[in-house]
Structures are given as structure tokens and as C-alpha cells.
Amino acid sequence: MTCYETLFVIKPTLTEEEIAAEIAKIKEVLTKEGAELLATNDMGMRKLAYPVEKNDRGYYTVLFYKGEGTVINELERNLKINEEVIKFLTVKYSKNKELAHFDKLVAQATSKAAAVEATPAKVAPEATAEAESTEA
């Protein structure tokens, strides 16, 4: 199986739930086609280098996976059809240096995702003060 990286940009007008649903749809295409999803890097909302479809910003997501060449055809077909995706790019890693860099990127994305999950959610100080006053 060959290593691939696909970056895609979703329209900024969507809510967080809608963005998560779009990302899940694309991940589902990969799993349905038999690709092994190694890591996901949600880069968040960023400014575009130039306006695309009258959008100055977009939600960036990078998927790292292993799969056959036919997976790319189906994935890119779905990305083209999806009206919420404004740009996408797929990179194939085949040489030894490229594969070493791919492994490093996957490790970074995995550690970043683990760090996000390990951090406790911040609670507003007002909410904790209210909870303490109602308990007393």
C-alpha cells in the first residue's frame, strides 16, 4: 500500500457540527474504499492566500492514510462533488526520504491529537463560582 496525504479546505460559513459531519463523510469514503487512516490533523480556520469562491477563510484538514491508487480516484471524485469543499490536494509519498518525512508528519499529527484529548476543558470562572454558591 502507498502512503498519501490529502489536504482539503471547507467553506467557513458552516457551523462546527456541519464541519465535523463533512470531515466524517470524507473519512467514511476512505474506510469504505479500504484505506487505512493513520492520522488526522485539523488545522482549523485559516486565512486563504487568495479568495476562492468569494471566501477569504477556510477550515483546513489534513488526512494521512495508506491505500491503493483506486482509493484516490473515489476520494477526489467525492471531494469534487461536495459543494462545501472549496479546495483539495493529494500528495503521494513513494521514495525513502519522502516516507521518512511522512512517518514524522503522522507522528506529529498523532501527538497533537493526543495532547488535545488530554487537556481538560476550560471552565469559565463565573460558572465555577455559581456552582459553588448553589452548593452552599
Residue ranges covered by each domain of the chain: 2-135
Does 131 score more than 60 pLDDT? no
Determine the Cα–Cα distance for residues 44 and 77; give it in Å rounded to an integer. Answer: 23
Closest by CA position to 3, among listed 55, 63, 51? 63
pLDDT tier, 119 (very low <50, low <70, confident <90, very high otherwise): low
Q: Give the model confidence (pLDDT) of 23-48 as tens digits.
A: 999 999 999 999 999 999 999 999 99
What is the pLDDT, as a whole number, of residue 46?
A: 94
Per the model's pLDDT, the better-predicted residue between 97 and 51 turns out to be 51
The whole-number average pLDDT for the span 2-14 is 93
Region 82-108: what's the mean pLDDT? 88
Q: Is the pLDDT of residue 129 over 60?
A: no
How large is the average pLDDT for residues 100-119? 79
Residue 119, CA distances (Å) to 10, 39, 77, 131 in order: 26, 19, 37, 22
Give residue 89's pLDDT band: very low, low, confident or very high (50, 70, 90): very high
pTM, entire model: 0.77
The CATH homologous superfamily of the domain defined by 2-135? Ribosomal protein S6/Translation elongation factor EF1B (3.30.70.60)
Q: Which residues contact 82 (CB under 8 A, 6 or more apart)?
A: 22, 25, 26
Contact status, residue 86 vs residue 10, Cβ threshold 8 Å: yes
